[in-house]
């Protein structure tokens, strides 16, 4: 089962995109094409700062290994490890870029396929929800951590009732 985060563009971009096309669904997990061809993947998804960082890191790695006289197998291994890191962290880098560009995180949705995830999201989402506060959004898409809102009936500890001693 795949886990996706759903992102909505900022108000300045909503006018140019209408309907369901304005949302981004970012799958959590390994991105094969980000591992195989990281530069093209980063260009395709318009992750400009991440691309610049990758090029600086890859160039520094190549320069450092060449200065040490390393070539052949270890050089290829170091490049593959860097690409593996990009493939593993691609979704986090993509979410970071969206957050940096003021996209709003609407929540997390799980499903077997992307179509199932989109169907599940759009069956519970409405335009009214887009204009509500984050607290209201967290009731539809429950989150953990700082966004979680405890209820009055929550029980902490081993006691069966909140007021029991």
Taking CA atoms, 125 is separated from 13, 18, 96, 160, in Å, by 19, 15, 23, 35
Q: What is the pLDDT of residues 20-39, one digit of tens each?
A: 778 999 999 999 999 999 99
- Residue 52: strand, helix, or coil: helix
Q: Which residue has the higher pLDDT, 16 or 136?
A: 16
Sequence spans of domains, the chain: 2-147
Q: Residue 128's pLDDT is what?
A: 44
- pLDDT, tens digit (0-9, with 9 covering 90-100), for 96-111: 999 999 999 988 999 9
Instruction: Give the separation between CA 34 and CA 124, rounded to whole angstroms.
Output: 31
The CB density around residue 18, as the number of other CB atoms within 10 Å, is: 8
């Amino acid at each position: 089962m795949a886990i996706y985060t759903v992102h909505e563009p900022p108000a300045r971009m909503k006018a140019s995109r209408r309907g369901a096309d304005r949302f981004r669904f970012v799958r959590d997990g390994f991105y094969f094409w980000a591992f195989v061809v990281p530069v093209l993947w980063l260009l395709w998804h318009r992750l400009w700062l991440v691309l610049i960082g990758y090029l600086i890191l890859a160039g520094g790695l190549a320069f450092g290994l060449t200065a040490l006289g390393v070539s052949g197998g270890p050089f290829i291994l170091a490049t593959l490890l860097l690409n593996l890191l990009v493939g593993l962290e691609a979704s986090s880098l993509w979410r970071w870029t969206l957050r940096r560009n003021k996209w709003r995180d609407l929540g997390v949705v799980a499903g077997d396929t992307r179509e199932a995830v989109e169907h599940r999201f759009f069956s519970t989402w409405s335009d009214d929800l887009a204009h509500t506060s984050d607290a209201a959004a967290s009731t539809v898409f429950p989150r953990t951590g700082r966004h979680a809102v405890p209820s009055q009936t929550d029980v902490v500890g081993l006691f069966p009732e909140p007021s029991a001693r």
